[in-house]
Amino acid sequence: MSLQEKEFLEKIEKHKGVIFKISKMYMDNQDDQNDLYQEIIYQAWKSYADFQRKSDFSTWLYRTALNTAIVFLRSEKKRSFIQNQNIENITVHQESYNDTDDKNMKMMYEAIQQLSPIDKALIFFFLEDFPGKEIALQLGITEVNARVKLNRAKAKLKEIVEKQRAI
C-alpha cells in the first residue's frame, strides 16, 4: 500500500460519519445508501490526487460527497428505477425503535429525503454547524443567499415534519 493510499484511508476513516450522513440524507433505503457511500469514497479517491490542500480535507470531502450525491441522485439509472416502480410494489420496512430519539431521527431523515438536493445540502451544513459564510463558500453562492435559502429549507423541513406528526 502506498503512502498516499494509507493517508487517504486514514482520513476517510476519520470522516466516515460525514459520508454516512450524506448517504442517509440522499437515499431512502439501505442498499442505495450503501451504494452512494461507496460511490462517494470512489469519487473521493479518484480526485484525491488533485486535492491541493488549500482547504481542510473535511471541507474538500463535504463538497465531493455532496456533488457525488447530487449526481448519483440525478443519474439515469435512479430516474428510470423510480419511474418504473408501482406504488403497490413498494414495501416499507418497519424497524423496531425502543427510544423516542431513534424515532425522531428516523422521522427527521424521512423528512429530509423529501427535500430537493440543494435543500438537503443546506440542512446538512446547518446540522453540521457550518457558519453562513462557509455554507456560501461550499455552494458557490453569496452569504446572504445562503442564509435565505437555509431559512426556506428549514421552513420546508418543519412543514414536512408537522405533516408527518399529524398522520
Whole-angstrom distance, CA of residue 68 vs CA of residue 111: 21
CA distances from residue 102 to 15, 60, 108, 122, 162 in whole angstroms, order as listed: 22, 30, 10, 23, 17
Q: Which three cell numbers stand for residue 83?
A: 419511474
Average confidence (pLDDT) over 136-142 = 83
Among the listed residues 87, 71, 63, 44, the one whose alpha carbon sits nearest the alpha carbon of residue 139: 63
pLDDT of 157 strictly over 70: yes
Reported as a single tens digit per residue, the pLDDT across 27-46 is 888 888 899 999 999 999 99
Higher pLDDT, 101 or 133: 133
Higher pLDDT, 90 or 126: 126
Spell out the domains of the chain, with CATH numbers in brackets. 1-93 (1.10.1740.10), 97-167 (1.10.10.10)
Residue 155 above 80 pLDDT? yes
Indicate the pTM of the whole model: 0.61
State pLDDT tens for residues 67-124. Answer: 898 888 766 444 444 444 443 443 434 444 445 566 777 788 888 888 888 888 888 8
What mean pLDDT do residues 148-154 have?
92
